[in-house]
Every structure is written in C-alpha cells, then in structure tokens.
C-alpha cells in the first residue's frame, strides 16, 4: 500500500470535532442532544457583510485575488488595528489568510525548524500543539492554574523558556477557559519577553471583542511597543462578526521579514483568499460596530447564567471568566463516582462521554485542552439550550454515587 507522511503521526483529530460527531450520531437516532461543545457564535453574519459579498460576486470580483489580500481589505484591517488596538501597520505588514487557523499554520510553517520549542500557555486551544508538531516544532505547555484564574504567571513563563524556544503563543481571552489578561498582567508577560530577544510572540486575539463587565482588552504589541518587531498580531472575523464559515483571518507584524515569509507560505498553500469573503470582511470591519457591544451584552448574560447554574451543582466548581464564550468547570470531586447508567468516572473523558450518552449534553473534556479534570462548556447558544443543558448536567451529577 502507498503510505501516509510521517509528519502526520503525532497530529490528532480535534476532540471537539469528535464530540460533534458523537452528538450527530445520537441526533440521527432521533435523540434531542443539547450541544454545548461548539466554538462558534450562534448569531448570523451581519446582513451588510452578506450584501457586500453578493455585490462583489455580481460585479465580477471573481478572479484570482492578490496572494496576501486585496488592498481594500488591508486598508480596513490597518484601520481596525488603529481603532481597536492603537497599533500602526502598513499594507506591507499585513497578510490575509483562510481563517485565524491558517495564519497560525502559516506562521509556524514559515519559522519552525526541527527541535524548535513553542511555549503554549495551557489550557489551550486544541489546534496550537498539533499545528506546531505539523511544522516540525515541539509544543511546550505552561500551566495556567485555576487558582491563578487560569492566567499566565510571569514566573511560570520564565521557567518554560529554553535556548530552543522559538515562539510564545498568547490567547487571552482564552479558549477554553475564558480567562483574559489585564494591562498589568500583560506588562508582566512583556517584561519577561524583553529579556528574551530571540523569541517571536504570536498573539491570537480572535476573542478580543468578547470581554465583559467593563474588562478592557489589551494586546501585547500595544502594551509594550518595544516588542512591536517581534510580535505577530493575529485576528479575524470568525468570532467577532459571526463569520466562521467565510474563513477569513489576518495578521500583522512589525517584522517585514516575518510577514514576507508568512506571505510566501500563504501563497503556496492557498493562492489567496476567496474574493467574496474578502469583500464581506471589508464590510464587517468598516461597517457599524455597535453589534459587537450588543452581542457581548448577550454573551455576558449567558455567562452569568451558566456560571451560577454550574456552581450550584454538587461536585462542580466553576470559575467566572472575563471573556470568550466558554467556561471551564472543575469536576475533580466526581472522580471515582459511578453514574446512574453504571459507568465509573475515572477521568474527564469518562465524564463527558457518560454525559452525552446518558443525558445527551455535548461538552468537551479538559484533557483535549491539556488540563484535567475539567470540561469545557460553550455558551454560544440560546438561553433555552443553556437552561436545558445545565438542568441535565445537574441531574447527571446528582445521580452519581
């Protein structure tokens, strides 16, 4: 038989995708599954973005685009960075890719040599470690403990850095914990990074607009301008504008050398991003921004509801995060118990699997994000679903012996 490349040997299938598949199988049998596992907004894409795509397609904007993004979209991105982050980037410092995910993929492929280490504050989005391995690098997890509000402490970061460290990846507000970083906390991280001038910093700001209770988002290149040349600031339209299916993300850096390397990879693996998606993104970035605050207010209500509901369940402990649309409850008190259906709970994987099979609520095990025993609950769904989901989780936990 012909064979598959060795580079795929350690790269796993996303755990949240595996849970979505399990939920689909149950749904296909006619079972009503409450899905709290999906990492995407339940809101629609703004109508003006859809209209812009329509107009672009009808107007003949259907040819190969510039590999690194149209000049109109780059101008909208530069304006976004100035408006939201007080960062100055020129068109030559920006690359547009097929989602934030492809930005990360391109950046790792453009820079990692075998043995290079990438420091990943953990719990972390499932894809970082796999992308790093794909690129030949070695992921190094730094624990962000519940006791510290799942934040990255400067001393833990310092301890994880070695002469092989190539990148630090920051993602606050965080998937899966929702933890965000204050200016003072970011300044402490920046101080460590100033002592290590040979390390790139990727900041994944995809949840930037999802912060609550007046919490102010900040990003490292703005907090510490001396890092500007080493920071790759990544963002996209997926989460903020509910445009996950359009597949559009972007990045910018003070280093033109890094941008040119990323652009080279981007050109080879995509040939540029869909012209209609670029037109939609321009409309989203340049259009009215009120929807960001309106939607954030709805997410905040949902977060408060979910944190209260889960905190009231015996056996769970639920930290209240500052942002994103996830909570990450601790279920260590349930380890060793047996479910009503007779399943012994030894790990968070056992917990989420028994929960979906017996009470039909889909969540994702903490193990997938590198920290156990926890599970991730996404509240990017209706209050009705959240109410039903939390009630089922409560029944599931209270029936354990």
Q: How far is the CB of 96 from ligand PLP (least distance, A)?
A: 11
94 vs 309 by CB, closer to ligand PLP: 94
Q: How far is the CB of 128 from ligand PLP (least distance, A)?
A: 8
State which residue has the least CB distance to ligand PLP: 99
| Contact residue for ligand PLP among 20, 244, 289, 347 (CB under 6 A) | 244
Q: How far is the CB of 171 from ligand PLP (least distance, A)?
A: 5
Q: Which residue has the tokens 């092989």?
A: 164
Is 249 a binder of ligand PLP (CB under 6 A)? yes
- Label each residue of 206-231 as H, E or C: CCCCCECCCCCCCCHHHHCHHHHHHE
Binding span for ligand PLP by CB under 6 A among 93-101, 110-118, 266-274, 383-391 = 93-101
170 vs 390 by CB, closer to ligand PLP: 170
Binding to ligand PLP by CB under 6 A, coded x per residue (else -) over 94-113, reads: -----xxx------------
235 vs 372 by CB, closer to ligand PLP: 235
99 vs 329 by CB, closer to ligand PLP: 99
| Contact residue for ligand PLP among 238, 274, 275, 278 (CB under 6 A) | 238
Q: Which residue has the tokens 């959240």?
A: 386
249 vs 389 by CB, closer to ligand PLP: 249
Dihedral sign of CA atoms 249, 255, 258, 263 in order: positive
Q: How far is the CB of 236 from ligand PLP (least distance, A)?
A: 4
Please choose, from the candidates 151, 141, 206, 144, the residue with its C-alpha nearest in 3D space to the C-alpha of residue 183: 151
Q: How far is the CB of 327 from ligand PLP (least distance, A)?
A: 14
39 vs 321 by CB, closer to ligand PLP: 39
Sheet holding 375-378, edge to edge: 326-327, 375-378, 364-365
Q: What angle do CA 355, 345, 24 make, to 5 degrees?
A: 25
Q: How far is the CB of 102 from ligand PLP (least distance, A)?
A: 7
99 vs 389 by CB, closer to ligand PLP: 99
| 12-71 positions binding ligand PLP, by CB under 6 A | 39
| Beta-carbon contacts of residue 384 (< 8 Å; ≥ 6 apart) | none
354 vs 364 by CB, closer to ligand PLP: 364
Q: How far is the CB of 161 from ligand PLP (least distance, A)?
A: 22
Q: How far is the CB of 173 from ligand PLP (least distance, A)?
A: 9
277 vs 394 by CB, closer to ligand PLP: 277
Q: How far is the CB of 341 from ligand PLP (least distance, A)?
A: 31
Q: How far is the CB of 23 from ligand PLP (least distance, A)?
A: 17
Number of residues in contact with ligand PLP under rule CB under 6 A = 13
125 vs 328 by CB, closer to ligand PLP: 125
List residues binding ligand PLP (CB under 6 A).
Answer: 39, 99-101, 125, 171, 175, 204, 206, 236, 238, 244, 249
């Amino acid at each position: 038989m012909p064979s598959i490349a060795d580079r795929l040997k350690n790269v796993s299938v996303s755990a949240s995708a595996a849970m979505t598949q399990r939920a689909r199988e149950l749904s296909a049998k006619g079972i009503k599954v409450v899905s709290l596992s999906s990492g995407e907004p339940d809101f629609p894409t703004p109508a003006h973005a859809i209209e812009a795509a329509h107009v672009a397609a009808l107007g003949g904007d259907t040819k190969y685009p510039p590999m690194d993004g149209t000049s109109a979209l780059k101008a909208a991105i530069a304006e976004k960075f100035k408006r939201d982050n007080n960062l100055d980037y020129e068109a030559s410092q920006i690359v547009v890719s097929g989602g934030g995910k492809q930005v990360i993929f391109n950046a790792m492929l453009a820079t990692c040599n075998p043995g290079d280490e990438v420091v990943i504050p953990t719990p972390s989005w499932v894809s970082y470690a796999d992308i790093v391995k794909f690129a030949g690098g070695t992921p190094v997890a730094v624990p962000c403990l519940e006791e510290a509000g799942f934040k990255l402490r400067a001393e833990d970061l310092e301890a994880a850095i070695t002469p092989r460290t190539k990148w630090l990846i920051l993602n606050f507000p965080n998937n899966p914990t929702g933890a965000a970083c204050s200016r003072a906390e970011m300044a402490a991280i920046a101080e460590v990074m100033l002592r290590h001038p040979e390390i790139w910093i990727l900041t994944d700001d995809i949840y930037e607009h999802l912060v609550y209770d007046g919490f102010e988002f900040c990003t490292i290149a703005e907090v510490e301008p001396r890092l500007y040349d080493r920071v790759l600031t990544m963002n996209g339209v997926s989460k903020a504008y509910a445009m996950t299916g359009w597949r559009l993300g972007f990045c910018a850096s003070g280093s033109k050398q890094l941008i040119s390397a990323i652009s080279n990879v981007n050109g080879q693996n995509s040939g540029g991003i869909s012209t209609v998606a670029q037109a939609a993104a321009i409309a989203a970035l340049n259009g009215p921004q009120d929807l960001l605050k309106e939607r954030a207010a709805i997410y905040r209500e949902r977060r408060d509801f979910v944190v209260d509901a889960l905190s009231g369940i015996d056996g769970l402990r639920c930290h209240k995060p500052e942002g994103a649309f996830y909570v990450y409850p601790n279920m260590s008190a349930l380890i060793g118990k047996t479910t009503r259906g007779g399943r012994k709970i030894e790990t968070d994987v056992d917990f989420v699997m028994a929960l979906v099979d017996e009470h039909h609520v889909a969540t994702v095990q903490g193990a997938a994000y590198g920290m156990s025993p926890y599970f991730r609950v996404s509240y990017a769904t209706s209050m009705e679903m959240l109410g039903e989901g939390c009630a089922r989780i409560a029944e599931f936990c209270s029936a354990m012996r």
